[in-house]
């Protein structure tokens, strides 16, 4: 039976020890959502941490307020940078997708600028569900030095959030990257996170699609949709593709 266990306490202990081992301060983007709030709390428990809050014209004010409140509650120094003017300089955009991805990349450039100035590392807020399905912007929010929750499904991130006393209003928010109006993670993915995580966990356990379908009582075609998305986004989970010519190759067999 596919079960995603709540191991929050031991995971928090492992992640904070991992972060402390770098002995460097961390910079992160704080959106007011659950993932960045969890990462902010984990970093603040481990090393000196600073945050950038980077809204644009469609960012809900409530998210900015929640991000500020989170930073203050965790004792994190923060800076607010409105990226709307920067975004306008890149326009006009021929599609919502181009605009959305550019926003994510602008934010990462600002994070790395700050990281260079502070001799810090950039901590990303991507989780395992997003990484496996490619639900992030390549060289945008997917670009970072360290992913503290990168091996945790969204379900597990929710467990961590409760254990870390993240406010309920943040935990209960509809998951969204706020890259365009009305955006919803689950709407774009075509499946709710709870179901997605169970399917991905089945893949992780190397179960056959048919077994996952029976175990979760989900139509096989739904399992195949997730499988297709995972396979099609494989390029996002590795370094740029390199033709192997030498004895050991970066990103292929030399990490």
Query: Do the domain assignments include residue 91?
Result: yes
Is 73 in the same domain as 192? no
Residue range 36-41: average pLDDT? 98
Measured CA to CA, the distance from residue 48 to residue 77 in angstroms comes to 9
Q: What percent of the chain has pLDDT over 90?
A: 87
DSSP for the chain reads -------HHHHHHHHHHHHHTT-S-EEEE--SSHHHHHHHHHHHTTS-EEEEE---TTS-HHHHHHHHHHHHHTT-EEEE---HHHHHHH---SSHHHHHHHHHHHHHHHHHHHHHHHT-EEBP---HHHHHHT-S-TTTTT--SB-TTTTS-HHHHHHHHHHTT--HHHHTSPP---SSTT--HHHHHTS-HHHHHHHHHHHHTT--HHHHHHHHT--HHHHHHHHHHHHHTGGGGSSSP----SSS-BTTTB-
CA distance 255 to 240: 13
Q: How many Å apart are CA 161 and CA 8, to the nearest integer?
A: 9
Per-residue pLDDT at 134 exceeds 90: yes
0.85 exceeded by pTM: yes
Of the candidates 147, 171, 195, which is a domain's last residue?
171
247: Cα within 13 Å, side-chain hemisphere: 0
Task: Tell me the pLDDT band of 98, cut-offs 50, 70 and 90.
Answer: very high
Judgement on whether residues 142 and 43 belong to the same structural domain of the protein: yes
Q: Are residues 207 and 118 in the same domain?
A: no
Between 198 and 177, the higher pLDDT residue:
198
pLDDT band (50, 70, 90) for residue 225: very high
- Residues for the chain: how many in total? 255
> What's the average model confidence in pLDDT over 67-75?
98
The arithmetic mean of pLDDT across residues 225-242, rounded, is: 89
Residue 133 lies in a domain: yes
Same-domain check for residues 75 and 146:
yes
* Shared-domain flag, residues 161 and 204: no
Q: Are residues 160 and 206 in the same domain?
A: no
By CB atoms closer than 10 A (0-12, 13-18, 19+), residue 73 is: middle
Residue 255 binned pLDDT confidence (cut-offs 50, 70, 90): low
Does the pLDDT at position 16 exceed 90?
yes
What confidence tens digit (pLDDT) does each residue in 234-251 have?
Answer: 989 887 777 788 888 877
108 within a domain of the structure (yes/no): yes
pLDDT digits (tens, 9 = 90+) for 40-67: 999 999 999 999 999 999 999 999 999 9
Residues 145 and 230 in one domain: no
Which among 117, 140, 171 is the end of a domain? 171
- What CATH number is attached to the domain comprising 131? 3.40.50.620
Indicate whether 230 and 128 sit together in one domain.
no
CA nearest to 34, candidates 2, 65, 66, 62: 66
Say whether both 28 and 107 belong to one domain: yes
Measured CA to CA, the distance from residue 119 to residue 117 in angstroms comes to 6
With respect to residue 245, please indicate whether it lies within any of the assigned structural domains: no
Task: Examine the domain organization and report whether 14 and 56 are in the same domain.
Answer: yes
Sign for the pseudo-dihedral over CA of 12, 186, 108, 85: negative
Asked if residue 210 is part of any domain, the answer here is yes
- pLDDT band (50, 70, 90) for residue 254: confident
- Same-domain status, 128 and 23: yes
246 located within any domain? no
Same domain? 102 vs 49 = yes
Tell me, yes or no, whether 200 lies in a domain. Answer: yes
Mean pLDDT (whole number) for 158-168: 98
Domain boundary among 171, 196, 223: 171
- Structural domain of residue 55, as residue ranges? 8-171
Q: Is residue 250 part of a domain?
A: no
pLDDT band at 193 (very low <50, low <70, confident <90, very high): very high
pLDDT, averaged across the chain = 95
Number of domains, the chain: 2
Q: Residue 120 to residues 12, 80, 115, 155: CA-CA distances in angstroms?
A: 22, 18, 5, 29
């Amino acid at each position: 039976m596919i079960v995603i266990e709540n191991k929050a306490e031991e995971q928090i202990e492992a992640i904070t020890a991992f972060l402390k081992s770098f002995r460097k301060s961390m910079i992160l983007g704080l959106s007011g959502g659950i993932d960045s709030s969890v990462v902010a709390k984990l970093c603040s428990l481990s090393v000196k941490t600073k945050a950038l809050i980077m809204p644009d014209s469609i960012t809900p004010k409530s998210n900015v307020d929640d991000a500020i409140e989170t930073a203050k509650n965790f004792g994190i120094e923060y800076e607010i940078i409105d990226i709307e003017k920067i975004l306008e300089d890149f326009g006009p955009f021929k599609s919502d997708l181009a605009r959305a991805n550019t926003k994510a990349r602008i934010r990462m450039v600002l994070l790395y600028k700050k990281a260079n100035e502070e001799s810090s590392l950039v901590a990303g807020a991507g989780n395992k569900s997003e990484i496996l399905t490619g639900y992030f912007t390549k060289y945008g929010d997917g670009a970072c030095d360290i992913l503290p929750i990168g091996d945790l499904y969204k379900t597990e991130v929710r467990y961590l959030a409760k254990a870390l006393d993240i406010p309920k209003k943040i935990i209960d928010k509809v998951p969204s990257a706020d890259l365009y109006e009305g955006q919803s993670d689950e709407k774009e993915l075509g499946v709710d996170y709870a179901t997605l995580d169970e399917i991905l966990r089945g893949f992780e356990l190397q179960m056959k699609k048919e077994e996952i379908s029976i175990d979760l009582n989900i139509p096989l075609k739904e399992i195949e949709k997730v499988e297709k998305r995972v396979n099609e986004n494989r390029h996002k989970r590795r370094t740029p593709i390199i033709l192997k010519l030498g004895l050991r190759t970066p990103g292929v067999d030399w990490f």
